[in-house]
């Protein structure tokens, strides 16, 4: 229990005791034995602690406490109780039952459940369990204390009952025990699967099973079985209560079919599935047996049969049926019933002779045949053409099923054919001379006796001879008689034949005479017959052994075709009026036109040939009346009172001069009247013209032959045309175009606009469109038309321009001007991107993508609102999706390797655009990327062999690799295709190709030394290419002789008379692309004349017999199958001498150097030269890794030459990379090596002489606060001096640097203490750290220490103010300008006591004023009585501020000019100060 110490009651006053009260048994009680508030430890900690189980509370009770404090004056008020009180916890309360989860005869597995609910655990987590058992009165621990929830108790006696108990504990102690009695035994073993399930007793099911092999223990018995049958919903349900026969203890159960159907919802044909389990005498159940997978199914009578089929079987009818679903009981018989037409209703008969349904053959065939004559006609009363009525039903072991529906269709009763209703007819087109062809009508259906016709028999009679049967004609309906006698007449009859025999013959045909065609008429001529007719004449034709019966005359019409003019008898002339010839169909209306005609004669056979065309000649030509005027009269002017009419003079006079023109007028719908006959061609009519009246005019011409036809009429009303309309207004909205216009003047009173013509500018011209129909009554009345924009055949972006003109009965007004400004045409989407095969395409799906058009010229000017994607496989387009705004789609469920066609379209507000062109995509993938091409260079000839592997995946089932493509990078750095014909060996199908050096050079431009790079890709049988393989990293070059060795031979040993040379094996990249097979070494004494001293496959050779001190030149060559390289470069020279001697450490020294001794100087004495002058030195210094690094360059940067036998390096360089020497005091080591004309001598041993020096290290301690000297005005810190190595960097410390926060170098000097007096703020934290400095600089700063500037008393508050607040005096004040570094937690308000002139606080008022508002109130009466103020005394108050560290400020100055007690105010002022409102009544 924690609490905060209250205000003690005064300065220097302490709390002497606390009383802590607990809420126990509905009352607040102090328990000093638990929490002794007088204890110094409790008082100082304001806290007491005791064990929870010492409280006599129930689990879940709230633990409530209150506290009060006592000082020397007395007890303070009791605090309120703690909010959100914790709840009481107890040892575990409720435990689960102890159960046996499994076991055998010698062991039991005990389990229990860990309680998790607080009301069970006692509110605290379970920390352990104790499990015990007893057999003979003594409890023994199985688990003493362990957090487990299962235990296996072994070594038990089979069948013996044991007592168990367990308990749990938590942090508060152990619970009570929970007990159980459990027996050491096991359940019976799992029974084997059901042994048999068979159908018995007309559909009942008998289930049998066996005992389990293990009953569960010695002397145990099986006491019961539980049988379950699987329900149709897959759930097993108990079947024990449905056993009609047998007994579960006898391991047999018979269940009726009704129970299986009703209670387990098993249908006919369902397999009866069951399982069983056994229980022993210890009430332990075995596992369920496995369910049977075979056995009986629910049987039933056969299903209703399908309707049988009756077919024609010649003289029998075949009845065929389909075996029904026999419902798990074989068919044993069929019943075939035939309707008896002679009997009454329901008279079904069974023909056991022909259709015995119990006959095994009939059952097997599933058909039977019934003769037509007997019994169908004779017995059952059917007649020809009748369908027989039949039905079939089936029987199995469970009885008869439902009969089929009646068959009343199919084959019918048949007989011999009927007498044909039609007689034979002559085929005129094929009959001629001695050949006569006739046509007979085929017999079908009832006419054929309802049986197929097998042939037709035909007879003929010549003149009056006897009938002759013609040769059998089969089934042909066209019969030909040849060899007929010319001039004789023939008649024909016929009959049909079917399986029943020959039918009755038809009536005889009309007589057909055997004749030839007549010849053509001769001696054709023509002449005028009077002035208006033409007479055509000819000589009769020969008759062709028959009788001439008619002539046809044909006249050539205006189009050059001969038109039948008349069919005449056996005459030899014809007179035709010229008016007839001038009219249709001849239209020979041209004056002087020549008339042509032809003739043709006929006899009994047909018309003979036409004559040749005959001209009437120049003396007989055409004359006509004047041509009918084709042009209506013209109204040249009109008004409401006059009409001027003109007409065109006739030039086609018909061959005779015009004698007069006849003008006719009709008023309204009246008859025409002739106005006058005259030669005038224009007239003005003013008399009798009535305003608004309609008139019609026409005219005709006359010549000597008569009057022409009337001209077309012209109709005119005495009005004017409408005025010119103003330009229309054209606008667009939601895909529509609206054309508005203003109706013009109609043309006269009572005259209406009958029509508008709305013209659109399309295709470079102004056209009218039906979708903006100016004849529409709505358009006329509303002077507006609205239509879908996509009806305009305009391209996107075109201006939509319109003009209007109006029409009345007289005619059209002038067109209006076009609309301005015009709106812009929008269309359905215009241009679609091609479909692209997406990356998600695989063998079972095709992923397609397309680009959303955004340019107006593509979208048609309106945003695309949806797409429709279709695909087809076999001619039918299927929607992949109908309408969705997406630009990617994956069609799934496709067949691997199958080609599919796709097309798509887009829509906008104006509708759907056209489908894109169909594109074909395949549900497959490209082959996988092949592995990198492998190169092999043939050592014997430098040919390059390329080989590669087939891709791991061909791209789909059934696909093959159809091709490979190899590309080789040419001399232009471009990959160029390699054709298989270039392969000197191998081919692409074998995935191998060998190229010669010449081919690589000539074909790909690769020159010697160029690297050969190749890639391969594979194509499958769907023409899909894989990715190219990665470019080979294996380096292969165009072979050549090796490059010259770029490193000279080098001396590895030597004496005054011998030199041992080694040379490097030529790197593969310099071997010319072919393996090096040997090297050649040459020697010279002058550098120009060389001799070979070695030519073999080796890299070392010792040359002996040399002259001491002589200079020798050496070079070597490499060789491959193409020849020798150039000589090595550079040529190397060696003397018969040795390298300098090793420098001894005794001759080496090291010292600090430089003006401030901040450098390291290394020096040495020159060694013996060994016969060649020393030319160079090398100095190495040991670095942080332990290696020695060459510092020659660093020495030379110090403007020293090593030939001066010394090297100087700044110490600071050794700290940085690459030396990284950072540990002060560690010796610095160096080595020296000399070089002469022979080479470098051996590196000396290491030498040291000075230690590494650095800046001082980071101090290991922080500065410390000198608390005794630290006040709110100053902070004093001390730190530890640094004098030893390595802390001082192995160099004396020269001074220290102190920093405070971000202020660096607050102090610099040799002292180890510093007092900071400026810039401090009481209560603020300051971080101090320090570093040491030596000749190399300031080292790393120490870790910081945080020191708080001590707080102090707040500054004196300003004098408070007093105001009257109703009946109270309100005192307010300002916060002090400084809180002293700690928050203000209290203000002390004191008032002047006029009795003793001292300042005092009131005991209850203004005791703990609000520190935020800094105001408090005290009743005026209290001030007056408590502080002894007389009337009109001024209320004087002063304020003291106290901060959280208990520092008090000086009291403020007292109030001046404050409130005076009992001072009177005018009434209205008082009411105003009370903030009351006065309402006027």
CB 736 within 8 Å of CB 787: yes
Q: What is the pLDDT of residue 346?
A: 56
Range with lowest mean pLDDT among 316-330, 920-934, 1259-1273? 316-330
Q: pLDDT: is 1145 or 1480 the higher one?
A: 1145
Residue 247 — very low, low, confident or very high, per pLDDT cuts 50/70/90?
low
CB 1407 within 8 Å of CB 1422: no
pLDDT greater than 90 at residue 741: yes
pLDDT digits (tens, 9 = 90+) for 69-118: 999 888 999 999 999 999 999 899 888 889 888 888 888 899 999 898 88
CA dist 1075 and 1067 (Å) reads 10
Q: What is the pLDDT of residue 561?
A: 92
pLDDT digits (tens, 9 = 90+) for 274-284: 999 988 888 88
CB 908 within 8 Å of CB 864: yes
* Cβ neighbours of 1433 (radius 10 Å): 18
CA dist 324 and 696 (Å) reads 87
CA dist 1388 and 1360 (Å) reads 12
pLDDT greater than 90 at residue 1325: no
* Residues linked to residue 1326 through DSSP beta bridges, in sequence order: 1347
pLDDT greater than 60 at residue 962: yes
CB 1218 within 8 Å of CB 1134: no
Q: What is the pLDDT of residue 327?
A: 76
Across 440-561, the runs of DSSP E, i.e. the strands, are 455-462, 468-469, 478-481, 489-498, 501-502, 512-513, 522-529, 533-539, 550-556
Residue 1233 tokens, joined: 């090596």
pLDDT digits (tens, 9 = 90+) for 1423-1432: 888 889 888 8
pLDDT greater than 50 at residue 1467: no
Rg, C-alpha atoms of the chain: 66
Q: What is the mean pLDDT of residues 1326-1342?
A: 90
CA dist 1366 and 514 (Å) reads 153
Q: How much of the chain, in percent, has pLDDT values that exceed 90?
A: 26
Sheet arrangement for strand 222-230? 236-238, 222-230, 274-280
- b/e burial code for range 686-700 (CB count within 10 A of at least 16 → b): eeebeeeebbbbbbb
pLDDT greater than 70 at residue 1258: yes
- Most confident range (mean pLDDT) of 539-553, 700-714, 817-831 is 817-831
Q: What is the pLDDT of residue 1481?
A: 35
CA dist 1220 and 1429 (Å) reads 87
pLDDT greater than 50 at residue 1468: no
Residue 804 tokens, joined: 């209007």
pLDDT digits (tens, 9 = 90+) for 701-724: 987 667 888 999 998 888 888 889
Q: Residue 1083's closest CA among 1124, 1111, 1115?
A: 1115
CB 239 within 8 Å of CB 227: yes
Q: pLDDT: is 681 or 1328 the higher one?
A: 1328
pLDDT greater than 90 at residue 870: yes
- For 192, phi then psi, to 5°, come to -70, 165
Residue 382 — very low, low, confident or very high, per pLDDT cuts 50/70/90?
confident
Residues whose CB is less than 8 angstroms from the CB of residue 508 and which lie 6 or more positions away in sequence, other chains included: 423, 461, 491, 492, 493
Q: What is the pLDDT of residue 473?
A: 67
Task: List for the chain the helix, strand, coil content (%; round to 5).
Answer: 10, 35, 55
CA 85 to chain CA centroid, nearest Å: 57
Q: Tokens 């062999």: give the residue.
A: 945
- For 787, phi then psi, to 5°, come to -150, 160
Residue 1056 — very low, low, confident or very high, per pLDDT cuts 50/70/90?
low
pLDDT greater than 90 at residue 1038: no
- For 854, phi then psi, to 5°, come to -125, -20
CA dist 511 and 266 (Å) reads 81
Q: What is the mean pLDDT of residues 824-836?
A: 89
Task: Look at the chain and count its residues.
Answer: 1481
CA dist 1373 and 1363 (Å) reads 12
Residue 637 tokens, joined: 């002017």
Q: Residue 940's closest CA among 1008, 1039, 850, 874?
A: 1039
Q: How much of the chain, in percent, has pLDDT values that exceed 70?
A: 97
Q: What is the pLDDT of residue 1198?
A: 62
Long-range contacts of range 7-16, CB-CB < 8 Å, 24 or more positions apart? Answer: 7/1386, 7/1408, 8/71, 9/71, 9/73, 9/76, 10/71, 11/1448, 13/71, 13/72, 13/73, 14/71, 15/43, 15/69, 15/70, 15/71, 16/70, 16/71, 16/72
Residue 912 tokens, joined: 């759907």
User: 839: exposed, middle or buried (C-beta count within 10 Å: 0-12, 13-18, 19+)?
Assistant: exposed
pLDDT digits (tens, 9 = 90+) for 1233-1252: 988 877 888 899 999 988 99
pLDDT digits (tens, 9 = 90+) for 754-793: 999 999 999 899 999 988 998 899 988 899 999 988 888 8
Q: What is the pLDDT of residue 344?
A: 57
Q: What is the pLDDT of residue 246?
A: 59
Q: Residue 578's closest CA among 708, 711, 705?
A: 705
Q: What is the pLDDT of residue 783?
A: 92
CB 789 within 8 Å of CB 910: yes
Residues whose CB is less than 8 angstroms from the CB of residue 645 and which lie 6 or more positions away in sequence, other chains included: 633, 634, 635, 636, 663, 682, 683, 684, 685, 697, 714
Q: How far apart are the two ends of the chain, measured CA to CA in Å?
A: 64
CA 937 to chain CA centroid, nearest Å: 50
pLDDT greater than 60 at residue 1479: no
Question: What region does 667 belong to: left with phi over 0, alpha with psi -120 to 50, or beta?
Answer: beta
Sheet arrangement for strand 1437-1443? 1398-1400, 1384-1393, 1437-1443
DSSP state letters, 1106-1153:
PPTT--EEEEEEEEETTEE-PPPSSPEEE-S--PPPPPPGGGEEEEEE
Residue 1476 — very low, low, confident or very high, per pLDDT cuts 50/70/90?
very low
> In the 8-state DSSP scheme, what is residue 376?
I
pLDDT digits (tens, 9 = 90+) for 1365-1422: 888 999 999 999 888 888 898 999 999 999 998 998 887 888 778 888 899 999 988 8
Q: Residue 1328's closest CA among 1317, 1341, 1337?
A: 1341
Q: What is the mean pLDDT of residues 6-18?
A: 89
Residue 1231 — very low, low, confident or very high, per pLDDT cuts 50/70/90?
very high
- b/e burial code for range 1042-1074 (CB count within 10 A of at least 16 → b): bbbbeebbebeebeeeebebebbebeeebbbbb
């Amino acid at each position: 229990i924690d609490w905060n110490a209250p205000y003690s009651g005064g300065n220097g006053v302490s709390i002497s005791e606390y009383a802590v009260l607990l809420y126990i048994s509905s009352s607040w009680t102090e328990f000093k034995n638990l929490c002794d508030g007088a204890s110094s430890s409790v008082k100082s900690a304001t806290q007491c602690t005791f064990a929870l189980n010492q409280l006599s509370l129930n689990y879940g009770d709230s633990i409530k406490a209150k506290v009060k404090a006592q000082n020397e004056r007395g007890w303070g008020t009791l605090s309120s109780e703690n909010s959100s009180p914790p709840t009481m916890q107890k040892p575990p309360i409720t435990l689960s039952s102890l159960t046996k989860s499994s076991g055998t005869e010698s062991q039991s597995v005990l389990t229990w459940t860990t309680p998790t609910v607080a009301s069970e655990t006692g509110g605290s987590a379970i920390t352990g369990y104790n499990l015990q058992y007893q057999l003979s009165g003594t409890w023994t621990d199985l688990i003493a204390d362990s957090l487990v929830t299962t235990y296996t108790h072994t070594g038990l006696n089979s069948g013996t009952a044991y007592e168990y108990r367990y308990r749990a504990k938590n942090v508060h102690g152990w619970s009570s025990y929970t007990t159980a009695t459990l027996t050491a035994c096991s359940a019976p073993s799992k029974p084997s699967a059901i042994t048999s399930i068979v159908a018995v007793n007309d559909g009942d099911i008998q289930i049998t099973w066996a005992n389990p092999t293990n009953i569960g223990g010695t002397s145990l018995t099986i006491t019961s079985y539980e049988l379950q049958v699987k329900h149709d919903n897959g759930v097993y349900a108990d079947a024990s209560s449905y056993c009609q026969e047998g007994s579960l203890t006898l391991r047999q159960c018979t269940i009726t079919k009704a129970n299986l159907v009703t209670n387990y919802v098993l249908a006919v044909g369902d397999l009866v599935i069951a399982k069983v389990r056994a229980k022993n005498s210890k009430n332990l159940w075995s596992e369920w047996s496995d369910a049977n997978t075979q056995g009986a199914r629910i049987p039933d009578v056969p299903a209703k049969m399908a309707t049988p089929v009756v077919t024609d079987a010649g003289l029998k009818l075949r009845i065929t049926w389909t075996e029904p679903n026999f419902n798990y009981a074989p068919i044993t018989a069929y019943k075939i019933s035939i309707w008896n037409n002679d009997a009454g209703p329901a008279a079904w008969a069974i023909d056991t002779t022909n259709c015995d349904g119990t006959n095994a053959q009939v059952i097997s065939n599933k058909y039977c045949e019934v003769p037509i004559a007997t019994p169908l006609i004779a017995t059952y009363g059917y007649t020809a053409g009748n369908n027989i009525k039949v039905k079939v039903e089936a029987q199995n072991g469970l009885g008869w099923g439902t009969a089929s529906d009646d068959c009343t269709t199919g084959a019918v009763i048949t007989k011999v054919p009927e007498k044909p209703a039609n007689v034979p007819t002559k085929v005129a087109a094929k009959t001629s001379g001695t050949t006569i062809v006739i046509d007979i009508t085929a017999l079908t259906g009832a006419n054929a006796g309802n049986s197929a016709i097998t042939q037709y028999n035909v007879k003929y009679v010549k003149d009056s001879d006897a009938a002759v049967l013609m040769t059998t004609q089969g089934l042909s309906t066209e019969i030909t008689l040849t060899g007929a006698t010319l001039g004789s007449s023939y008649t024909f009859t016929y009959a049909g034949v079917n399986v029943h025999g020959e039918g009755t013959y038809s009536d005889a045909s009309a007589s057909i005479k055997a004749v030839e065609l007549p010849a053509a008429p001769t001696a054709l001529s023509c002449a005028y017959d009077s002035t208006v007719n033409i007479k055509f004449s000819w000589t009769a034709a020969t008759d062709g052994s028959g009788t001439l019966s008619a002539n046809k005359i044909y006249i050539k019409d205006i189009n050059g075709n001969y038109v039948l003019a008349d069919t005449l008898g056996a005459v030899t002339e014809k007179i035709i009026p010229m008016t007839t010839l001038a009219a249709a169909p001849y239209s020979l209306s041209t004056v002087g036109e020549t008339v042509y005609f032809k003739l043709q004669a006929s006899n009994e056979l047909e018309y003979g040939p036409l004559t040749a065309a005959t001209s009437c000649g120049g003396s007989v030509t055409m004359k006509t009346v004047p041509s009918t005027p084709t042009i209506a009269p013209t109204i040249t002017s009109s008004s409401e009172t006059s009409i001027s009419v003109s007409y065109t003079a006739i030039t086609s006079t018909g061959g005779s001069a015009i004698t007069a023109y006849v003008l006719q007028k009709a008023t309204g719908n009246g008859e025409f009247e002739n106005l006058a006959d005259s030669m005038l061609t224009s007239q003005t009519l003013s008399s009798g013209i009535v305003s608004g009246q309609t008139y019609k005019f026409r005219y005709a011409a006359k010549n000597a032959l008569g009057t022409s036809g009337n001209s077309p009429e012209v109709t005119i009303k005495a009005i004017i045309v409408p005025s010119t309309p103003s330009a229309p207004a054209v606008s667009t909205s939601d895909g529509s175009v609206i054309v508005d216009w203003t109706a013009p003047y109609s043309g006269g009173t009572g005259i209406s606009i009958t029509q508008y013509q709305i013209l659109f500018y399309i295709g470079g011209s102004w056209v009218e469109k039906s979708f903006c129909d100016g004849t529409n009554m709505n358009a006329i009345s509303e002077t507006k038309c609205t239509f879908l924009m996509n009806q305009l055949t305009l391209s996107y972006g075109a201006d939509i321009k319109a003009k209007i003109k109006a029409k009345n009965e007289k005619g059209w007004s002038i067109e209006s001007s076009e609309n301005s400004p015009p709106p812009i045409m929008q269309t359905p989407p215009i241009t679609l991107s091609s479909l692209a095969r997406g990356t998600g395409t695989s063998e079972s799906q095709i992923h397609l993508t397309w680009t959303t058009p955004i340019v107006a010229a593509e979208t048609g000017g309106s945003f695309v609102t949806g797409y429709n994607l279709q695909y087809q496989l076999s001619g039918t387009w299927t929607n992949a999706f109908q309408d969705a705004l997406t630009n990617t789609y994956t069609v799934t469920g496709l067949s691997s390797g199958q080609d599919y066609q796709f097309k798509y379209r887009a829509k906008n507000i104006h509708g759907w655009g056209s489908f894109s062109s169909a594109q074909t995509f395949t549900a497959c993938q490209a082959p996988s990327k092949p592995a990198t091409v492998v190169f092999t260079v043939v050592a014997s000839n430098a040919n390059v062999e390329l080989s590669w592997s087939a891709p791991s995946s061909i791209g789909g089932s059934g696909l093959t690799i159809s091709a490979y493509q190899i590309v080789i990078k040419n001399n232009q750095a471009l990959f160029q295709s390699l054709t298989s014909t270039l392969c000197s060996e191998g081919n692409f199908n074998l995935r191998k190709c060998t190229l010669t050096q010449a081919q690589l050079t000539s074909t790909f431009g690769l020159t010697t030394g160029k690297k050969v790079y190749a890639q391969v890709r594979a194509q499958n049988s769907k023409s899909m290419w894989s990715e190219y393989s990665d470019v080979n990293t294996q380096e292969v070059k165009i072979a050549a002789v090796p490059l010259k060795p770029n490193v000279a031979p080098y001396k590895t040993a030597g004496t005054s008379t011998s030199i041992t040379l080694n040379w490097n094996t030529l790197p593969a990249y310099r071997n010319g692309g072919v393996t090096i097979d040997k090297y050649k070494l040459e020697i010279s004494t002058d550098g120009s004349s060389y001799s070979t001293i070695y030519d073999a496959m080796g890299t070392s050779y010792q040359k002996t017999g040399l002259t001491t001190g002589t200079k020798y030149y050496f070079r070597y060559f490499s060789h491959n199958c193409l020849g020798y390289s150039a000589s090595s470069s550079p040529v190397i020279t060696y003397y018969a001498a040795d390298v300098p001697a090793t420098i001894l450490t005794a001759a080496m020294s090291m010292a600090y150097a430089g003006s401030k001794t901040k450098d390291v100087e290394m020096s040495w004495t020159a060694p013996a030269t060994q016969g060649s002058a020393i030319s160079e030195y090398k100095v190495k210094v040991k670095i942080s890794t332990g290696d020695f690094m060459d510092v020659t360059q660093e020495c030379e940067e110090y403007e020293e030459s090593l030939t001066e036998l010394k090297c100087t390096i700044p110490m600071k360089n050794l700290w940085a990379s690459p030396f990284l020497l950072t540990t002060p005091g560690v010796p610095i080591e160096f080595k020296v090596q000399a070089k002469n004309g022979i080479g470098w001598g051996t590196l000396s041993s290491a030498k040291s002489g000075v230690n590494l020096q650095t800046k001082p290290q980071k101090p290991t301690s922080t500065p410390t606060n000198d608390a005794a000297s630290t006040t709110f005005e100053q902070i004093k810190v001390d730190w530890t001096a640094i004098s030893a190595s390595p802390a001082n960097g192995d160099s004396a410390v020269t001074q220290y640097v102190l920093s405070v926060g971000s202020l660096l170098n607050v102090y610099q000097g040799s002292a180890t203490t510093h007092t900071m007096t400026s810039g401090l703020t009481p209560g603020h934290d300051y971080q101090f750290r320090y570093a040491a400095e030596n000749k190399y600089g300031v080292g790393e700063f120490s870790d910081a220490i945080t020191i708080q500037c001590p707080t102090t008393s707040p500054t004196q508050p300003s004098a408070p103010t007093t105001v009257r607040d109703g009946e109270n005096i309100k005192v307010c004040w300002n916060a002090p300008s400084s809180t002293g570094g700690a928050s203000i937690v209290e203000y002390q308000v004191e008032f002047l006591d006029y009795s003793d002139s001292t300042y005092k606080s009131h005991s209850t008022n203004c005791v703990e004023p609000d520190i935020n508002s800094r105001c408090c109130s005290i009743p005026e009466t209290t001030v007056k009585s408590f502080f002894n103020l007389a009337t009109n005394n001024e209320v004087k108050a002063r304020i003291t501020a106290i901060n959280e560290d208990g520092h008090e400020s000086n009291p403020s100055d007292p109030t001046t000019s404050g409130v005076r007690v009992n001072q009177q105010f005018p009434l209205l002022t008082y009411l105003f100060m009370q903030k009351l409102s006065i309402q006027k009544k």
